[in-house]
Structure 1
Amino acid sequence: MTGVRELLRCLQLVTIAALALALGTCVSRPGLLEQIDTLGTLRVATVNSVSTYYLDADGPTGFEYDLIRDFAQKLGLRFEMIVLPDQQAVLDAIASGHAHIGVGVAVSERRRGRVRFTPPYDEADLEVVYRVYKNKPQTLADLSGDLVLPANTAVADWLRANRPDVAFTVDPQANTEELMDRVASGDLAATIANADIVAMNQRYYPKLRVAFDLEDVHQKTAWAMAGNGDGGVDDTLYNEAIAYLEETKANGRLHILRDRYFGHVKRLGFVGGHEFARQVDNRLHLWEGYFRRAADDYDLDWRLLAAIGYQESHWDKNAVSPTTVRGIMMLTRAAASDMNVTNRRDPAQSIDGGARYFIRMLKRMPEEIDQPDRTWFALAAYNVGYGHVMDARRLLEAQGRDPNLWVNLRDALPWLTQERYIAQTRYGYARGHEAAAYVGNIRAYFDILTWMTNNRTTQEPPALAEEESEGGTEVAESPSISIDSPAF
C-alpha cells in the first residue's frame, strides 16, 4: 500500500507540474500598447524646433505635436512630450525604453540598426545654404573642409557613406537653425538643412541663400520605436502608428497640418523679407504702442495687428490706394464709418478701427470654423469681404469639400475670378487670388514678428509716436531681421 500511495503522490506532483507549465505557457506578457494603456501615458521623445514642437503664447504647438496629439486621442491615451537636445538623444531615449515613440526623426540606414521606423510620412529636399555676397558654391567638393553640420544627423550619416571625399566638421553644441544663423552672419561658410527648415529661416535671415540641392537625396521623416526590450519585437504600438499615419494621408489630415505650419513659409521671397526687415527698423517702433493698446483692448495679439498693418500699408500712415482706401490699416470709407473712425490718416484711429473691423469679421465666421483657420478666414474677409468668403465656402460645399478648412478656402478663393463659378455666387466677381496671397503674407509677417519678439530682451514698450522720423531710410547691413535689442 505504501508503494501505491507513493506512486499516486508522484502522479499528482507530475500532474500539478504539467498544469503549472501549461498555465505558464498560456499567460503571455502584455503587449506594449496594453502596458502603455495601464500606465496611462504615452511618452513621446522629440526635439524643440520650429518644424516639430515648441511653445507659443497659447501653449504647445508644432506639426509633430499636432500629429502625435491626434494619435494619442485616437488611442484614448494621455501623452507626455520629452524634449531632448538632438535626434541622437531621441534615439537613445527610445532604445533605453525611456520613451515609447520618437516623432519627426530623419531616417538613415545607420539609424535603422537601433530603432524601427514607420514608413516615412514626409519627404523634403536637402539644401546647401550659404550667405549672399559670398562666392556661391557649386558642388559639395567646393565646400570640402568648410561645411559644418550638427552632430549625429542623418545628413552626416549619408555623407560618410556616400561622399567620403567631402570633409566636414560637426558641432555637437549646435542645431541646424543655429548653424543657419551663423552662416547668415558670415561666421560659417555653409551647412545643409531640410528645405522646409531653410524656407522658414530665410524669413528671419534674408541673407541666407540656397546654393544647390543634394541631387537624388531626400530627407525622409518617420516615427521611431523600439522592440519590447527582451529580444522580441512587439508590434502593437507600431501597427497602430502605421495605420494612423496611413489614415492621415488618405483623409487629407496630413496635408492640412503641413499647410498649417509650412504652407505660407515661402510667401515673402528674398526681396520681400529684406524690405520687411528694413521697415521693422525704420517704422514699427513708431506705431507699436498703438498696436499693443488696440490688442489689449480687444484681446488680440498685437503682432497680428502689426502684420495686417504692414500688409496693408507698409506702416505708412499716409498710404492711399487707387481705390481711395487709406491709412495704416487701409480702411474704406464705409468701414471707417462703421467703426466711427473720423480720420483714417490718424494712426491711433486707423489701428483701433482696423482691430475692431477684424474682430467683426472673426465673430461673423460660422462657429464650426476652428482656430487657427478661423483667423485666416477672417483675414480673407478683411481683404475681400465677408460675402465673397461665404461664396467661396458655398462653392466648396457644392464640390463636397470641407468649407471650414483654410487649405480648401485658399483653393476656392481664386474661383471667384472665373466665369464658370461666378454664376453660382451671390456676390459675383472678387479678386480671390489677391485674398489668398494676402493671408499668406500676413501669416509670414506674423511668424517673423513672433520670432523677433520672443528673442527680444525685456524692455519697456515703445512710446506712442506722433510723427515718423525724418532721418534716412537706409539701415546698416545686418545678417538677420533686427530690432533695437541685444538679442540681435
Structure 2
Amino acid sequence: MKKVLILFFSILTLLLFGVQCTFVEKKLAAISKKEAYVLDLQGIQNRGFIRAAVDNNSTGYYIYRGRRMGYEYELLRDLAKRLKVQLHLVLISDIDRAFDYLQEGKVDLIAMNLEKNMERSDRASFSIPLGKMNTVLVGNEFSGKITSWDQLASDTIYVREGTVYKTQLCNLKDSLQLNYTIIPTPDHEETLIDQVAEGDIKWTIADQNIAQANATYYGGLNTSWKVKKEAEVSWVVRQNSPNLLSSLDTWLVDKQKRFIPDLYAKYFLNSKNSYFRSTSPFSSLAGNQISVYDDIIKNGAEQLGWDWRLLASLVYKESRFDTVATSYAGARGLLQLMPVTLERFGVENPNDPSQSLMGGVRYLRYLDKFWIERVPDTSERLKFVLASYNIGHGHVEDAWRLTLKYGENTQSWSSVSKFLELKSDPDYYRDPIVKSGFAKGHLAVNYVKDVMSVFDSYKALVEP
C-alpha cells in the first residue's frame, strides 16, 4: 500500500510540474498490466469461432445495402475460412481497451493497423506486417498548407487516445523545441476529421489511408503533410498464442501477393466507390437504412414480435433484397418462398415486395406456433424457426425426436442441431422415429449461424 501511495504522489507531482510525454503512460501501463488469458489455436478451433477486435470506420467494417463490408472484415473472413472457424467481430474504438480485451480473452486477435512499439510488445505478439502506413496531419482549407512544423506555432492538435500519434508528436515537439499543444480524446480519427472539416478544430492526425478515404467526400481537406515516414503495421494476438500467430503469419504470406493488394485497392484507391459507400443512406456510416424495403420489413417484424434487423437479416440471406430473385428450385421473392408455400400463404405476385414479405411473415408465424409449446424460450425457439424455414419443420422435428430419444435437452438448439447434422448418417435417418428421411442437416445449422451472424452485425452497426 505504501509503494502504491508513493507512486501515486510521484505521478501527481510530475503531472503538475511537467513530464516527458510518455513517462506517465509507461507507468500506468505497468500498473494496469494483468495476467493474460490462455487460449491458443486448437482451443479456438474447438470452440468453433475466433473473436476479432475491429474498428467501425469507413474502411474497416460497416454495412452497405445490407452487405457486410470493410477491408479488415474481408481479410478476417478469409482468415476464419483458413482456420475453419466462424468469425465473431467485436467493435472497439478504444485501442487500449482492445489490448485489455485481448489479455482477458474477450477477443483473440486485434485486427487494426498497429505500429509496433515497446509498450505494445510487452502486452501482445505482433504478426508479420500487413503493409506500411504513413501518418499525416489533417487540416481544412482555412488551416493553411504546412511546409514546416514551425508554422503550427502554438496551435492545438487533437489525437485519438491509444494511438501512436501522441508519441510521434511529443518526439517532434521535444526534438524541434516546438510549442503546439497535444490533446488526446476518445473520439475516433474519422470523428476528429469530421470536426476538422466542419471547422470545430484546426488539426488532427490520422493514418494516411483513413485521411485519404475521408478526403474523397470532404472537399478542402489537406492531408499532404506527413508526421512520420512509412512505418510497418501489423495485427496482434496474445503472447501465449504462438500457434495462432504462426497460422496468422502463414496466411499473411500466402495472401500478400494478390489478395491483400486487391483488397487495398478496393477500399483505399477507388475514391468514387469509397465516396458512395461512405455517404449513402444505405450505409451504416452515413445513414441508418439497410434496404429500400425497411418500412415493410419493420411492419412484418412487428407482427412477428421480432427485432426488425433480424427479419432484415433473413431477407438478406434469402434474396439480398432482390424482389425478382428466383432460386434453382423455384423459390421466389424477398423471402424466397416455394410455389406451394406462396399459394398456401396467399401470395399472388411473388415479385411484389409487400406481398412476398408478408407471405413469408405468415409462414414464420406458422412455424413459431408449431414450436412454441415444445420450445417455450423465445431466443431458443427462434433458431428452430429459422432452421425450419430453411430445411422444413419435418426435418427439424426429426432431430427433435432423436434428441428426446438420446436423452438430451429438446429445448436447446445446441442439442437438437447436433442431431439435425446427423440426419445425413444412415444410422440416424433410418431410425424408425425419423419421418422425413435423409437431409443435409449441416446446411440448415450453418444457415442459422449465418442469419444470426448477419443479425449481430446489423445490431452492432444499425440503430433499432
The normalised TM-score by structure 1 is 0.47
Q: Which one has a bigger Cα radius of gyration?
A: 1
The normalised TM-score by structure 2 is 0.49
